[in-house]
Chain A
Amino acid sequence: MSAWEGFLRQARAARIWSRLGGTSDVVVAAAALVALLLVPLTATAYGLQLATDILAAVALAYGWNLISGFTGYLSFGQVSFYGLGAYATALLVSRTPVPWYGAVLLGGILGAAVALLLGPIMLRLRGILFALGMLGLARILGIIFNNWNFAGASLGLSLPAALTPLAVYGGMALVAAAAFACNAFFVHSGFGLDAMSLNEDEAAAVAFGVPATRVKVIAFVLSAIFPALVGGLVAWNRSYIDPTSAFKPSLDLETVVFVLFGGIGTLWGPLFGAAVLMVIGEELLVYLPNFELALFGGVVILTVLVLPGGLVGLANRFGWLRRPLVLAPAALPEGAPPAPRAMPAGDVPVLEVRGLTVRFGGLVALSNVSLTLRRGEIVSIIGANGAGKTTLFNTITGFITPSVGRICYLGRDVTRLPTFRRARLGMARSFQIPRLMRSLTVWENVVLASRHGGQAHRAVAHTAWVLRITGLAALWREPASRLSPGHQRQLELARVLALHPALVLLDEVMAGMTREEREGVRNVIRHLPEFGVAAVACVEHVIAAVADLSDRMVVLDFGHEIAAGPPQSVLRDPAVVRAYLGEPL
């Protein structure tokens, strides 16, 4: 079935439309809508201009929220798109017969195109470096336009005047509404969930099938459209644009303050922050002109120290405006076990690793390691700390590229395949230290993986089933940060199952567990083949727990394989005893 049909099915199953939010959300939305409609009817020309400016700030805030709030890439250079949109609109309106709305739209498309070009490059960086890169871009664009005579150089461009202030208001309202809709899409959709998971922990997200680059670039492109549209409308509104005001640094700074104050990464935060601070700023401007900067600074500091969640965070404490669970039904359905996975014909091994060598500079972490997993096998990999066990897993799943060697999965050479694609093909791993998405709920952690795995077309039902069999059904709405360590481990396991994997790699999954918990995990491992898992590899230190479970055991020591075979003989092997065990088991 096509992706669209799959999506519709999921949406219906999740009853998205009825889950659009609680009462508080509806109230706020209604109030905003009423205000939006009342303004043109009742306000003076000044009030209309102020409202237009507020809507511009709201649209910019929502645009910024997409890349910086949800996806976690703080950008201090969104003004680049604002300026590009402004200039595109100005040039088109003043030199071509294109009508204003066409020019503004084309400006928006230009912003998106530039973001599409630059995104893959810029988004390789995180944190302050990405912010810096964007800021540098804005500066460079400012200089370019300052020198470009066709665009008026530093004297700027004049445009024919806007039709009516009402037209500008209407245009700005549409842009703000579209930006809001985009944010709503992020909050409610699987795509938004992907973005939020990247924000939290990119490596873990990728291990569960999130196509990181694609998601980031799309978010970046979306976040570029709105400043470009706003820039175009502002240029048209003012009938004039010049490099200084088109690429002004204060735009990003104000936007950041607005979103932070309102609540970063939330649906209503940008609206609250922009509206409240714009109005306060305007009134302060009239009565207290000299202290605006200090006040802005004070707002930011206080918000970070006292209210890091902003106004929305404050509302959340009263139970209002809580973020709804993504793709979640009202009640946890029964779910059903998945159909068995289609396996390639013949006796193709599930995993075949040949001659794997991994070097980190001068250090050789793995040396000529080979491993084959056949269908139905459970293999445990043991060895002292630093032997290279986790490195082996990291290389198999694609976090590390080997210097030498091949990895074949289900008969296919995956040595150069990105991690998320391996995850989608059914290669699942758990992490040594659980890397859960702590800001998301249990449900969302699992559905994130379900969406990308073999059961993506029935992700909701599959997620429900996985939660039930791993014993997390009662906790499905809990934030992952509040789980006990034992439950966290269960959640790790649940995520693995959610991918509907053919190959499961468990990295010290039993560490720190009680006997009962260990028994539970052993049970799950034993039953994995019933769930379509063709082969399991475990890295373990709790040897007693896996000795009777494994068909084969492999021992690593300083990156070399020193023994392999049935557990009983391996554990008596003198080399193994010498290197690791200390005495025969």
Chain B
Amino acid sequence: MAPRRRGILLWARRASGLVLAGAALVLGMNAAWAAGPIVVGATISETGPLAADALFQLRGEQLAIAKANAEGGWLGRRIVLKYYDDKSSPGTAVRLYQRLITEDKADLLLGPYSSLVTVAIAPLINKYKMATLEPGASVPTIYVPGNKWNIQPVASSTTYLHQLLPLAQKDGAKTVALLGLQSAFTLACDQARTAQAKRLGLKIVYSTTYALPQPDFSSIALAIKNARPDVVLACTYYPDAVGITRALHEQGYAPRYLGETVGPVEPAFIAALGPLANRILSNTSWWPNFKTPGNRTFIADYKKKFGEMPDYHAAAGYSAVEVLGAAVKATHSLDQAKLRRWLLTHTVQTVQGPFKVDANGRAIGATQDMVQIQNGVLKLVSPPSLAQAKVLVPYTGS
């Protein structure tokens, strides 16, 4: 053969060898992704009345998944969060979960935001037998024997502010007024607190429920003023928490203890009420100073990515993904039955504390802790081991 031709052949052999080697390398790498990403399906209320808080939950989920991917994914596969906007509408969510299960063929599911929407999709989850963590649903009635595939990673609403009444009673309080917004989870809370008050032997001097929109709470506040309770415990969302606080101030009554759920933890609450917010007690399932594994990383990552502090909804979303990941890794599979069995029998330490559920999927490990606004800043006041400050009394509205 002529020397040039030999050179070309040699070059061709070397080149093809390189190409083959490169291909083998790439294919080898892709073998890890060859099965495709793990699809985690969910809906979230991007629009509609529930959107404000739902966004936090979504971000928590997204952050946790991004972190998991950075650590190599689950079962060596990348994780993708496929989510839709359910418009805060149960009906839409049902359709969308149907789509996620049958069209998008999601491998795993996460629940939507709010008990209202979760309850609507629960039967569907059971029908398709997908072990689903529901970070947005705190109403305990979902987690009953008939609903065996829904699992609760957050504390029930019946535990909100459960520390308040015993604490107040130890301080000498004898009378309590209870308020409840007519909505599934606030009413569940209201009923639980009412039962607790009776158990403790406290006298309920006034109680009422109300519905939104309620532009004016002055009648309720006046009634409370006349009843002169030591404790006012209101199971609220945000606008009614603001309304009740203002109305009490306007009618000129300050109970020794004022506790409201959900509302006071929103950043806008303190801005909206100014000095009136001081010494209001509220509940949270998560706090930045928790010494839970990964909490500091969670806060730092969240701040970096989204430019603000996370709240407990974000923590709930994040933990749910943590728990799911733990289950997948431990069972080495995406088999729903295996995952479910594992979830019902194991404890997982998450950023919001221990995850543990009973045989019906109801949360028994998660806790609700108490916070108080002190000088315009929220501080954790219970449990004592993590408390940043002591509970300050009385509530003065200034």
Contacts and interface: CB of A to CB of B under 8 A. Distances in A.
Interface of A: 44-47, 49-50, 53, 143, 146-147, 153-156, 158, 161, 234, 238-240, 242, 244-245, 248, 250, 282, 285-286, 289-290, 292-293
A546 B91 CA distance: 69
Contacts of B342: none
**Most chain B CB inside 10 Å of its own CB: which residue of A49, A250, A290:** A49
Contacts of A239: 123
Contacts, number: 82
A292 B184 contact: no
A155 B184 contact: yes
A49 B85 CA distance: 17
Contacts of B164: none
Contacts of A250: 89
A245 B92 CA distance: 11
Contacts of B99: 46
Contacts of B126: 161
B154 interface: no
Contacts of A50: 95, 98
Contact of A49 (B94, B120, B146): B94
Given A156-B184, A238-B123, A286 B116 contact: no
Interface size class of B (residues with CB under 8 A): 20 to 34
Contacts of B127: 161
B174 interface: no
Nearest to B188: A155
B135 to A, nearest CB: 20
Given A153-B187, A158-B146, A290-B46, A240 B211 contact: no
Given A44-B103, A155-B141, A49 B182 contact: no
A49 B47 contact: no
A245 B183 CA distance: 12
Contacts of A44: 102-103
B397 interface: no
B119 interface: yes
A46 B184 contact: no
A344 to B, nearest CB: 63
Given A50-B95, A154-B184, A161-B127, A240 B122 contact: yes
A290 B102 contact: no
Given A46-B101, A46-B102, A49-B98, 4 more contacts: A45-B101, A240-B120, A289-B84, A292-B87
Q: Which 9 A-B pairs have the closest CB atoms?
A: A289-B85, A239-B123, A45-B102, A46-B99, A49-B98, A46-B98, A46-B102, A46-B103, A146-B182
B233 interface: no
Contacts of B87: 285, 289, 292
B47 A245 contact: no
Nearest to B147: A158
B95 A238 contact: no
Interface string B9-31: 00000000000000000000000
Interface string B200-217: 000000000101000000
Given A44-B102, A143-B211, A49 B184 contact: no
A234 B85 CA distance: 21
B240 to A, nearest CB: 15
Residue among B47, B119, B187 with most chain A CB within 10 A: B119
B185 to A, nearest CB: 9
Contacts of A286: 84
B139 interface: yes
Contacts of A49: 94-95, 98
B90 interface: yes
A16 to B, nearest CB: 39
Contact of A147 (B85, B98, B122, B182): B182
Contacts of A289: 46-47, 84-85, 87
A248 B89 CA distance: 10
Given A46-B103, A240-B122, A155 B94 contact: no
Nearest to A161: B123
16 contacts: A44-B102, A46-B95, A46-B99, A47-B103, A50-B98, A53-B91, A154-B182, A154-B183, A155-B188, A156-B184, A161-B127, A234-B91, A239-B123, A242-B184, A245-B91, A250-B89
A245 B102 contact: no
Interface string B91-135: 110111011011100000000000010011011001100000000
Nearest to B103: A46
A141 to B, nearest CB: 13
A238 B139 CA distance: 18
A244 B117 CA distance: 11
Contacts of A238: 90-91, 94, 120, 123
B102 to A, nearest CB: 4
Most buried by A among B84, B85, B126: B85
A582 to B, nearest CB: 65
Interface in B309-363: none
Contacts of B96: 285
B211 A146 contact: yes
Contacts of B90: 238, 245
Given A234-B91, A245-B120, A290 B47 contact: yes
A240 B182 contact: no
Contacts of B188: 155
Interface core residue of A47, A153, A154, A156 (most chain B CB under 10 Å)? A154
A242 B119 contact: yes
B183 to A, nearest CB: 6
A161 B188 CA distance: 24
Contact of A156 (B94, B119, B123): B119
Most buried by B among A46, A146, A290: A46
Nearest to A290: B47
Nearest to B90: A245
A292 B47 contact: yes
A23 B99 CA distance: 37
A154 B141 CA distance: 12
Given A240-B120, A245-B90, A285 B85 contact: yes
A365 B195 CA distance: 70
B47 A293 contact: yes
A46 B357 CA distance: 31
B158 to A, nearest CB: 12
A161 B85 CA distance: 25
Contacts of B95: 46, 49-50, 53, 282
A238 B116 CA distance: 13
A293 B49 CA distance: 13
A47 B101 CA distance: 12
